[in-house]
Structure 1
Amino acid sequence: MIPAPPIPRGPLAHVNPVAKLGAALLIAFPLILTIDVVSAAVALLLEIPLLLAAGVDARTFWRRTAPVWIAAPLAAVTIALYGEPSGTVHFEWLLVRVSDGSLALAAATCLRILALALPGVVLFATVDPTDLADGLAQRVRLPARFVLGALGGMRLVGLLFDDWRELELARRARGVADTGRVRRVLGMAFALVVLALRRGATLATSMEARGFGSDRARTWARRSPWGAREWMLLAIGLGISLTAVAVAVATGAWNFILGPS
Protein backbone atom coordinates (compact mmCIF):
# COMPACT_ATOMS: atom_id res chain seq x y z
CA MET A 1 0.00 0.00 0.00
CA ILE A 2 1.39 3.37 -1.05
CA PRO A 3 1.50 5.79 1.90
CA ALA A 4 -0.54 8.96 1.56
CA PRO A 5 1.49 12.10 0.82
CA PRO A 6 2.02 14.39 3.82
CA ILE A 7 -0.53 17.14 4.30
CA PRO A 8 1.12 20.48 3.46
CA ARG A 9 1.34 22.81 6.43
CA GLY A 10 2.22 26.47 6.48
CA PRO A 11 0.62 29.92 6.25
CA LEU A 12 0.60 29.76 2.43
CA ALA A 13 -0.08 26.06 1.94
CA HIS A 14 -3.83 26.49 1.46
CA VAL A 15 -3.93 29.91 -0.19
CA ASN A 16 -5.86 30.08 -3.44
CA PRO A 17 -3.59 28.86 -6.28
CA VAL A 18 -4.51 31.89 -8.38
CA ALA A 19 -2.99 34.14 -5.71
CA LYS A 20 0.19 32.02 -5.77
CA LEU A 21 0.34 32.35 -9.54
CA GLY A 22 -0.21 36.09 -9.32
CA ALA A 23 2.49 36.54 -6.68
CA ALA A 24 5.00 34.54 -8.72
CA LEU A 25 4.25 36.66 -11.79
CA LEU A 26 4.55 39.91 -9.84
CA ILE A 27 7.97 38.86 -8.54
CA ALA A 28 9.15 37.71 -11.96
CA PHE A 29 8.00 40.71 -14.02
CA PRO A 30 10.68 43.25 -13.02
CA LEU A 31 13.42 40.60 -13.02
CA ILE A 32 12.88 39.80 -16.70
CA LEU A 33 13.42 43.47 -17.54
CA THR A 34 16.90 43.75 -16.06
CA ILE A 35 20.07 41.73 -15.59
CA ASP A 36 21.90 43.00 -12.54
CA VAL A 37 23.17 41.51 -9.31
CA VAL A 38 21.44 43.95 -6.98
CA SER A 39 17.80 43.48 -8.02
CA ALA A 40 18.16 39.69 -8.24
CA ALA A 41 19.95 39.45 -4.88
CA VAL A 42 17.41 41.68 -3.13
CA ALA A 43 14.48 39.74 -4.58
CA LEU A 44 16.06 36.40 -3.64
CA LEU A 45 16.71 37.60 -0.09
CA LEU A 46 13.15 38.85 0.35
CA GLU A 47 11.77 35.60 -1.04
CA ILE A 48 13.26 33.50 1.77
CA PRO A 49 10.40 34.14 4.27
CA LEU A 50 7.92 33.46 1.46
CA LEU A 51 9.56 30.12 0.69
CA LEU A 52 9.61 29.15 4.36
CA ALA A 53 5.90 29.95 4.68
CA ALA A 54 4.95 27.83 1.67
CA GLY A 55 4.55 24.71 3.81
CA VAL A 56 7.03 22.55 1.87
CA ASP A 57 9.23 20.16 3.84
CA ALA A 58 12.98 20.12 3.25
CA ARG A 59 13.01 16.87 1.26
CA THR A 60 10.30 18.06 -1.13
CA PHE A 61 11.97 21.46 -1.45
CA TRP A 62 15.33 20.08 -2.56
CA ARG A 63 13.78 17.46 -4.81
CA ARG A 64 11.53 19.96 -6.60
CA THR A 65 14.12 22.71 -6.89
CA ALA A 66 17.10 20.51 -7.82
CA PRO A 67 16.87 21.38 -11.55
CA VAL A 68 16.96 25.09 -10.66
CA TRP A 69 20.07 24.70 -8.49
CA ILE A 70 21.74 22.80 -11.34
CA ALA A 71 20.66 25.11 -14.17
CA ALA A 72 21.62 28.38 -12.46
CA PRO A 73 25.37 27.60 -11.95
CA LEU A 74 25.64 26.00 -15.40
CA ALA A 75 24.18 29.10 -17.01
CA ALA A 76 26.54 31.27 -14.97
CA VAL A 77 29.58 29.26 -16.08
CA THR A 78 28.53 29.55 -19.72
CA ILE A 79 28.07 33.31 -19.44
CA ALA A 80 31.40 33.70 -17.63
CA LEU A 81 33.27 31.83 -20.37
CA TYR A 82 31.48 33.07 -23.47
CA GLY A 83 29.71 36.28 -22.41
CA GLU A 84 30.48 39.64 -23.95
CA PRO A 85 33.83 40.74 -22.49
CA SER A 86 34.34 44.12 -20.86
CA GLY A 87 36.84 45.53 -18.41
CA THR A 88 39.90 43.57 -17.42
CA VAL A 89 40.36 40.23 -19.20
CA HIS A 90 41.53 37.58 -16.72
CA PHE A 91 41.74 34.56 -19.00
CA GLU A 92 41.57 34.03 -22.75
CA TRP A 93 41.79 30.91 -24.87
CA LEU A 94 40.22 30.43 -28.31
CA LEU A 95 36.56 31.46 -27.91
CA VAL A 96 36.80 31.57 -24.12
CA ARG A 97 37.35 35.01 -22.65
CA VAL A 98 36.78 35.65 -18.94
CA SER A 99 36.57 39.31 -17.99
CA ASP A 100 35.15 41.54 -15.28
CA GLY A 101 32.05 42.13 -17.36
CA SER A 102 31.39 38.47 -18.11
CA LEU A 103 31.89 37.52 -14.44
CA ALA A 104 29.45 40.22 -13.29
CA LEU A 105 26.94 39.11 -15.91
CA ALA A 106 27.38 35.48 -14.84
CA ALA A 107 26.68 36.31 -11.19
CA ALA A 108 23.61 38.34 -12.17
CA THR A 109 22.34 35.51 -14.39
CA CYS A 110 22.73 32.91 -11.65
CA LEU A 111 20.90 35.00 -9.05
CA ARG A 112 18.26 35.98 -11.61
CA ILE A 113 17.43 32.36 -12.43
CA LEU A 114 17.14 31.49 -8.74
CA ALA A 115 14.96 34.53 -7.98
CA LEU A 116 12.71 33.81 -10.96
CA ALA A 117 12.29 30.06 -10.58
CA LEU A 118 12.26 29.32 -6.86
CA PRO A 119 9.02 31.15 -5.94
CA GLY A 120 7.05 29.50 -8.73
CA VAL A 121 8.38 26.01 -8.03
CA VAL A 122 7.95 26.18 -4.25
CA LEU A 123 4.58 27.94 -4.21
CA PHE A 124 3.13 25.46 -6.69
CA ALA A 125 4.53 22.43 -4.86
CA THR A 126 1.39 22.38 -2.69
CA VAL A 127 -1.12 23.23 -5.43
CA ASP A 128 -3.75 20.69 -6.41
CA PRO A 129 -4.57 20.84 -10.15
CA THR A 130 -8.32 20.78 -9.45
CA ASP A 131 -8.03 23.75 -7.08
CA LEU A 132 -6.03 25.64 -9.70
CA ALA A 133 -8.65 24.90 -12.35
CA ASP A 134 -11.44 26.05 -10.02
CA GLY A 135 -9.57 29.27 -9.33
CA LEU A 136 -8.80 30.02 -12.99
CA ALA A 137 -12.42 29.47 -13.98
CA GLN A 138 -14.12 31.19 -11.06
CA ARG A 139 -11.68 34.00 -10.26
CA VAL A 140 -9.83 34.73 -13.51
CA ARG A 141 -12.94 33.89 -15.58
CA LEU A 142 -11.08 31.77 -18.10
CA PRO A 143 -13.30 29.70 -20.43
CA ALA A 144 -14.47 26.57 -18.65
CA ARG A 145 -13.86 24.41 -21.71
CA PHE A 146 -10.21 25.41 -21.85
CA VAL A 147 -9.71 25.02 -18.09
CA LEU A 148 -11.34 21.59 -17.89
CA GLY A 149 -9.43 20.35 -20.93
CA ALA A 150 -6.14 21.48 -19.41
CA LEU A 151 -7.09 19.86 -16.10
CA GLY A 152 -7.83 16.57 -17.84
CA GLY A 153 -4.45 16.72 -19.56
CA MET A 154 -2.62 17.44 -16.31
CA ARG A 155 -4.34 14.51 -14.64
CA LEU A 156 -2.99 12.20 -17.35
CA VAL A 157 0.63 13.29 -16.95
CA GLY A 158 1.17 10.88 -14.07
CA LEU A 159 -0.10 8.02 -16.22
CA LEU A 160 2.67 8.63 -18.74
CA PHE A 161 5.29 7.63 -16.17
CA ASP A 162 3.34 4.47 -15.35
CA ASP A 163 3.01 3.67 -19.06
CA TRP A 164 6.73 4.13 -19.60
CA ARG A 165 7.52 1.77 -16.73
CA GLU A 166 5.06 -0.82 -18.02
CA LEU A 167 6.51 -0.59 -21.54
CA GLU A 168 10.00 -1.07 -20.18
CA LEU A 169 8.99 -4.09 -18.09
CA ALA A 170 7.11 -5.61 -21.02
CA ARG A 171 10.11 -5.26 -23.33
CA ARG A 172 12.41 -6.77 -20.71
CA ALA A 173 10.04 -9.70 -20.29
CA ARG A 174 10.24 -10.31 -24.04
CA GLY A 175 14.03 -10.09 -23.98
CA VAL A 176 14.29 -7.10 -26.32
CA ALA A 177 15.65 -4.57 -23.82
CA ASP A 178 19.15 -5.95 -23.34
CA THR A 179 20.81 -4.40 -26.40
CA GLY A 180 20.35 -1.33 -28.58
CA ARG A 181 19.55 1.12 -25.81
CA VAL A 182 19.15 4.13 -28.10
CA ARG A 183 16.88 2.27 -30.48
CA ARG A 184 14.89 0.91 -27.54
CA VAL A 185 14.36 4.38 -26.06
CA LEU A 186 13.25 5.78 -29.42
CA GLY A 187 10.84 2.91 -29.92
CA MET A 188 9.38 3.29 -26.45
CA ALA A 189 9.02 7.05 -26.94
CA PHE A 190 7.11 6.51 -30.18
CA ALA A 191 4.86 3.92 -28.53
CA LEU A 192 4.23 6.30 -25.64
CA VAL A 193 3.27 9.13 -28.02
CA VAL A 194 0.82 6.85 -29.84
CA LEU A 195 -0.66 5.69 -26.54
CA ALA A 196 -0.98 9.28 -25.29
CA LEU A 197 -2.75 10.38 -28.49
CA ARG A 198 -5.22 7.51 -28.26
CA ARG A 199 -5.90 8.17 -24.59
CA GLY A 200 -6.31 11.90 -25.25
CA ALA A 201 -8.83 11.23 -28.02
CA THR A 202 -10.77 8.89 -25.75
CA LEU A 203 -10.76 11.43 -22.94
CA ALA A 204 -11.92 14.23 -25.27
CA THR A 205 -14.78 12.08 -26.57
CA SER A 206 -15.90 11.06 -23.10
CA MET A 207 -15.76 14.65 -21.80
CA GLU A 208 -17.74 15.87 -24.83
CA ALA A 209 -20.35 13.15 -24.21
CA ARG A 210 -20.72 14.33 -20.61
CA GLY A 211 -21.36 17.92 -21.64
CA PHE A 212 -17.97 19.41 -20.80
CA GLY A 213 -17.84 21.08 -24.21
CA SER A 214 -21.09 22.98 -23.79
CA ASP A 215 -21.08 26.75 -24.20
CA ARG A 216 -23.65 27.21 -21.43
CA ALA A 217 -22.54 28.64 -18.09
CA ARG A 218 -21.29 25.93 -15.77
CA THR A 219 -21.82 25.39 -12.08
CA TRP A 220 -18.91 24.25 -9.93
CA ALA A 221 -18.90 21.54 -7.29
CA ARG A 222 -16.37 23.41 -5.15
CA ARG A 223 -16.12 27.10 -4.46
CA SER A 224 -12.76 28.81 -4.97
CA PRO A 225 -12.29 30.98 -1.84
CA TRP A 226 -10.68 34.39 -1.97
CA GLY A 227 -10.02 36.60 1.03
CA ALA A 228 -7.46 38.54 3.02
CA ARG A 229 -4.75 35.87 2.73
CA GLU A 230 -4.86 36.00 -1.05
CA TRP A 231 -4.70 39.80 -1.18
CA MET A 232 -1.85 39.76 1.32
CA LEU A 233 0.15 37.29 -0.79
CA LEU A 234 -0.29 39.48 -3.86
CA ALA A 235 0.79 42.50 -1.84
CA ILE A 236 3.90 40.65 -0.69
CA GLY A 237 4.78 39.74 -4.28
CA LEU A 238 4.31 43.34 -5.39
CA GLY A 239 6.35 44.59 -2.43
CA ILE A 240 9.24 42.28 -3.29
CA SER A 241 9.23 43.54 -6.87
CA LEU A 242 9.06 47.22 -5.97
CA THR A 243 11.77 46.88 -3.34
CA ALA A 244 14.13 45.06 -5.71
CA VAL A 245 13.59 47.69 -8.42
CA ALA A 246 13.97 50.61 -6.00
CA VAL A 247 17.24 49.30 -4.54
CA ALA A 248 18.67 48.55 -8.00
CA VAL A 249 17.77 52.02 -9.28
CA ALA A 250 19.05 53.74 -6.14
CA THR A 251 22.41 51.99 -6.35
CA GLY A 252 22.73 52.57 -10.10
CA ALA A 253 22.80 48.85 -10.85
CA TRP A 254 19.56 48.77 -12.86
CA ASN A 255 20.34 47.42 -16.33
CA PHE A 256 17.24 47.61 -18.52
CA ILE A 257 17.79 44.88 -21.12
CA LEU A 258 15.22 46.34 -23.55
CA GLY A 259 16.83 49.75 -23.59
CA PRO A 260 19.28 51.09 -26.16
CA SER A 261 22.66 49.36 -26.14
Structure 2
Amino acid sequence: MAGRKSELAANLATVERRITAACAAAGREREEVTLIVVTKTYPASDVRLLHELGVRQVAENRDQDAAPKAAACEDLSLTWHFVGQLQTNKVRSVASYADVVQSVDRAKLVSALSAAAVRTEREVGCLLQVALDAESGERGARGGVAPDGIEELAAAVAGAPGLRLDGLMTVAPLAGRYAGRQRAAFDRLLELASRLRADHPAANMVSAGMSADLEDAVAAGATHVRVGTAVLGVRPRLG
Protein backbone atom coordinates (compact mmCIF):
# COMPACT_ATOMS: atom_id res chain seq x y z
CA MET A 1 0.00 0.00 0.00
CA ALA A 2 2.89 2.35 0.75
CA GLY A 3 4.18 1.79 -2.77
CA ARG A 4 0.82 2.60 -4.30
CA LYS A 5 0.51 5.76 -2.21
CA SER A 6 3.96 6.90 -3.38
CA GLU A 7 2.96 6.20 -6.98
CA LEU A 8 -0.25 8.20 -6.65
CA ALA A 9 1.58 11.04 -4.89
CA ALA A 10 4.14 11.26 -7.71
CA ASN A 11 1.43 11.20 -10.38
CA LEU A 12 -0.59 13.86 -8.56
CA ALA A 13 2.49 16.05 -8.31
CA THR A 14 3.06 15.74 -12.07
CA VAL A 15 -0.54 16.63 -12.84
CA GLU A 16 -0.35 19.54 -10.41
CA ARG A 17 2.71 20.88 -12.23
CA ARG A 18 0.88 20.58 -15.55
CA ILE A 19 -2.16 22.47 -14.27
CA THR A 20 0.01 25.15 -12.63
CA ALA A 21 2.00 25.65 -15.82
CA ALA A 22 -1.14 25.78 -17.94
CA CYS A 23 -2.67 28.38 -15.63
CA ALA A 24 0.50 30.49 -15.77
CA ALA A 25 0.57 30.30 -19.57
CA ALA A 26 -3.07 31.38 -19.72
CA GLY A 27 -2.62 34.21 -17.21
CA ARG A 28 -4.91 32.50 -14.72
CA GLU A 29 -4.56 31.86 -11.00
CA ARG A 30 -4.03 28.21 -10.04
CA GLU A 31 -7.02 28.44 -7.70
CA GLU A 32 -9.32 29.00 -10.69
CA VAL A 33 -9.01 25.36 -11.77
CA THR A 34 -10.27 22.41 -9.72
CA LEU A 35 -8.88 18.92 -10.27
CA ILE A 36 -11.41 16.09 -10.28
CA VAL A 37 -9.76 12.67 -10.15
CA VAL A 38 -11.68 10.09 -12.18
CA THR A 39 -11.44 6.88 -10.16
CA LYS A 40 -13.44 4.60 -12.47
CA THR A 41 -12.23 0.97 -12.49
CA TYR A 42 -10.04 1.64 -9.45
CA PRO A 43 -10.81 0.30 -5.94
CA ALA A 44 -12.04 2.15 -2.89
CA SER A 45 -8.56 1.70 -1.39
CA ASP A 46 -7.19 4.04 -4.06
CA VAL A 47 -9.88 6.60 -3.24
CA ARG A 48 -8.80 6.46 0.40
CA LEU A 49 -5.17 6.98 -0.55
CA LEU A 50 -6.10 9.91 -2.77
CA HIS A 51 -8.03 11.44 0.13
CA GLU A 52 -4.95 11.09 2.34
CA LEU A 53 -3.02 12.93 -0.40
CA GLY A 54 -5.45 15.84 -0.35
CA VAL A 55 -7.87 14.96 -3.16
CA ARG A 56 -11.44 16.01 -2.35
CA GLN A 57 -13.19 15.72 -5.74
CA VAL A 58 -13.61 12.32 -7.40
CA ALA A 59 -15.63 11.08 -10.36
CA GLU A 60 -17.18 7.83 -11.52
CA ASN A 61 -18.93 6.83 -14.74
CA ARG A 62 -20.74 3.58 -13.92
CA ASP A 63 -23.22 3.23 -11.10
CA GLN A 64 -22.48 -0.45 -10.54
CA ASP A 65 -18.89 0.51 -9.67
CA ALA A 66 -19.61 3.86 -8.06
CA ALA A 67 -22.38 2.95 -5.60
CA PRO A 68 -20.40 0.40 -3.55
CA LYS A 69 -17.27 2.55 -3.73
CA ALA A 70 -19.09 5.62 -2.44
CA ALA A 71 -20.60 3.53 0.36
CA ALA A 72 -17.17 2.20 1.32
CA CYS A 73 -15.83 5.76 1.48
CA GLU A 74 -18.83 7.47 3.07
CA ASP A 75 -16.77 8.43 6.11
CA LEU A 76 -14.48 10.59 3.94
CA SER A 77 -15.03 14.24 3.09
CA LEU A 78 -15.43 13.88 -0.69
CA THR A 79 -17.46 15.45 -3.46
CA TRP A 80 -18.65 12.71 -5.84
CA HIS A 81 -19.22 13.52 -9.51
CA PHE A 82 -21.06 11.19 -11.88
CA VAL A 83 -19.66 11.69 -15.38
CA GLY A 84 -20.99 8.79 -17.44
CA GLN A 85 -24.05 8.46 -19.61
CA LEU A 86 -26.89 7.95 -17.16
CA GLN A 87 -29.90 5.73 -17.77
CA THR A 88 -33.08 6.60 -15.92
CA ASN A 89 -33.19 3.19 -14.20
CA LYS A 90 -29.91 4.09 -12.42
CA VAL A 91 -30.99 7.56 -11.32
CA ARG A 92 -32.34 6.60 -7.91
CA SER A 93 -29.04 4.97 -6.95
CA VAL A 94 -26.86 7.75 -8.40
CA ALA A 95 -28.86 10.46 -6.63
CA SER A 96 -28.15 8.77 -3.29
CA TYR A 97 -24.40 9.50 -3.44
CA ALA A 98 -23.55 11.85 -6.34
CA ASP A 99 -23.16 15.48 -5.36
CA VAL A 100 -22.92 16.52 -9.00
CA VAL A 101 -24.17 14.78 -12.14
CA GLN A 102 -22.14 16.07 -15.07
CA SER A 103 -24.01 14.20 -17.81
CA VAL A 104 -27.50 15.71 -17.85
CA ASP A 105 -28.58 15.74 -21.49
CA ARG A 106 -32.36 15.25 -21.79
CA ALA A 107 -35.59 16.32 -20.16
CA LYS A 108 -36.55 12.77 -19.14
CA LEU A 109 -33.35 12.52 -17.11
CA VAL A 110 -34.06 15.86 -15.44
CA SER A 111 -37.47 14.64 -14.31
CA ALA A 112 -36.08 11.38 -12.98
CA LEU A 113 -33.20 13.07 -11.15
CA SER A 114 -35.53 15.61 -9.61
CA ALA A 115 -37.85 12.91 -8.27
CA ALA A 116 -34.91 10.93 -6.86
CA ALA A 117 -33.32 14.00 -5.26
CA VAL A 118 -36.58 14.96 -3.57
CA ARG A 119 -37.09 11.39 -2.38
CA THR A 120 -33.62 11.25 -0.81
CA GLU A 121 -33.87 14.83 0.51
CA ARG A 122 -30.64 15.82 -1.23
CA GLU A 123 -29.74 18.64 -3.60
CA VAL A 124 -27.96 17.36 -6.69
CA GLY A 125 -25.86 19.70 -8.79
CA CYS A 126 -26.27 19.31 -12.54
CA LEU A 127 -24.00 20.06 -15.45
CA LEU A 128 -25.51 19.94 -18.91
CA GLN A 129 -23.36 17.71 -21.08
CA VAL A 130 -22.92 19.46 -24.42
CA ALA A 131 -22.30 17.37 -27.53
CA LEU A 132 -20.33 19.45 -29.98
CA ASP A 133 -20.76 16.71 -32.59
CA ALA A 134 -24.56 16.68 -32.39
CA GLU A 135 -26.91 18.14 -34.97
CA SER A 136 -29.86 20.28 -33.91
CA GLY A 137 -32.18 18.38 -31.62
CA GLU A 138 -29.97 15.29 -31.51
CA ARG A 139 -27.69 13.70 -28.91
CA GLY A 140 -23.99 13.13 -29.45
CA ALA A 141 -22.22 9.82 -29.95
CA ARG A 142 -20.99 10.00 -26.33
CA GLY A 143 -24.23 11.47 -25.03
CA GLY A 144 -24.88 15.15 -24.61
CA VAL A 145 -27.37 17.73 -25.79
CA ALA A 146 -26.86 19.68 -29.01
CA PRO A 147 -25.81 23.30 -28.42
CA ASP A 148 -29.18 24.63 -29.52
CA GLY A 149 -30.89 22.56 -26.81
CA ILE A 150 -28.99 24.07 -23.90
CA GLU A 151 -31.39 26.90 -23.12
CA GLU A 152 -34.48 24.70 -22.87
CA LEU A 153 -32.72 22.01 -20.85
CA ALA A 154 -31.18 24.58 -18.49
CA ALA A 155 -34.62 26.01 -17.79
CA ALA A 156 -35.88 22.51 -16.97
CA VAL A 157 -33.07 21.91 -14.47
CA ALA A 158 -33.40 25.36 -12.92
CA GLY A 159 -37.10 24.76 -12.32
CA ALA A 160 -36.77 21.20 -11.00
CA PRO A 161 -37.08 20.58 -7.24
CA GLY A 162 -33.99 19.07 -5.69
CA LEU A 163 -31.68 20.06 -8.55
CA ARG A 164 -29.16 22.88 -8.91
CA LEU A 165 -27.94 24.12 -12.28
CA ASP A 166 -24.15 24.33 -11.98
CA GLY A 167 -22.94 24.79 -15.56
CA LEU A 168 -21.74 22.86 -18.61
CA MET A 169 -19.54 19.88 -19.41
CA THR A 170 -18.17 18.44 -22.62
CA VAL A 171 -15.99 15.61 -23.86
CA ALA A 172 -13.79 16.48 -26.85
CA PRO A 173 -15.69 14.94 -29.79
CA LEU A 174 -14.31 12.18 -31.99
CA ALA A 175 -16.30 13.25 -35.04
CA GLY A 176 -17.60 16.42 -36.65
CA ARG A 177 -15.99 19.80 -37.06
CA TYR A 178 -14.23 19.70 -33.69
CA ALA A 179 -12.71 16.21 -34.02
CA GLY A 180 -9.01 16.45 -33.16
CA ARG A 181 -9.41 20.15 -32.33
CA GLN A 182 -9.66 20.09 -28.56
CA ARG A 183 -8.79 23.75 -28.02
CA ALA A 184 -11.41 24.88 -30.52
CA ALA A 185 -13.96 22.57 -28.91
CA PHE A 186 -13.25 23.94 -25.44
CA ASP A 187 -13.33 27.53 -26.71
CA ARG A 188 -16.79 26.80 -28.12
CA LEU A 189 -17.92 25.36 -24.78
CA LEU A 190 -16.78 28.52 -23.00
CA GLU A 191 -18.83 30.62 -25.45
CA LEU A 192 -21.88 28.53 -24.66
CA ALA A 193 -21.15 28.76 -20.93
CA SER A 194 -21.01 32.55 -21.15
CA ARG A 195 -24.43 32.61 -22.78
CA LEU A 196 -25.81 30.29 -20.11
CA ARG A 197 -24.59 32.56 -17.31
CA ALA A 198 -26.46 35.49 -18.83
CA ASP A 199 -29.70 33.78 -17.77
CA HIS A 200 -28.33 31.67 -14.90
CA PRO A 201 -25.48 33.62 -13.22
CA ALA A 202 -24.76 30.92 -10.64
CA ALA A 203 -24.17 28.27 -13.34
CA ASN A 204 -20.47 29.10 -13.59
CA MET A 205 -18.87 25.65 -13.61
CA VAL A 206 -17.23 24.56 -16.88
CA SER A 207 -15.95 20.98 -16.87
CA ALA A 208 -13.64 20.10 -19.75
CA GLY A 209 -10.32 18.42 -20.38
CA MET A 210 -8.89 15.07 -19.37
CA SER A 211 -5.43 13.55 -18.99
CA ALA A 212 -4.39 14.16 -22.59
CA ASP A 213 -5.85 17.62 -23.15
CA LEU A 214 -6.13 19.38 -19.80
CA GLU A 215 -3.80 22.17 -20.98
CA ASP A 216 -6.18 23.04 -23.82
CA ALA A 217 -9.08 23.12 -21.39
CA VAL A 218 -7.26 25.39 -18.94
CA ALA A 219 -6.23 27.71 -21.78
CA ALA A 220 -9.85 27.95 -22.90
CA GLY A 221 -11.04 28.83 -19.39
CA ALA A 222 -12.34 25.57 -17.90
CA THR A 223 -13.00 25.70 -14.16
CA HIS A 224 -12.72 21.92 -13.65
CA VAL A 225 -10.60 19.25 -15.33
CA ARG A 226 -11.32 15.52 -15.08
CA VAL A 227 -8.13 13.46 -14.86
CA GLY A 228 -7.97 9.69 -14.48
CA THR A 229 -5.12 7.90 -16.25
CA ALA A 230 -2.49 10.55 -15.51
CA VAL A 231 -3.14 10.11 -11.78
CA LEU A 232 -4.11 6.45 -11.41
CA GLY A 233 -2.32 4.83 -14.33
CA VAL A 234 -3.60 2.44 -16.98
CA ARG A 235 -5.61 -0.48 -15.74
CA PRO A 236 -7.91 -2.98 -17.48
CA ARG A 237 -11.61 -2.19 -17.22
CA LEU A 238 -13.66 -4.07 -14.66
CA GLY A 239 -16.55 -6.22 -15.80
Shared fold, TM over 0.5 = no
TM-score class normalised by the smaller sequence:
under 0.3
Give the alignment's TM-score, normalised by structure 2.
0.26
Give the alignment's TM-score, normalised by structure 1.
0.24
Bigger CA radius of gyration: 1
More relative contact order in 1 or in 2 (CA 8 Å, sep 6+)? Answer: 1
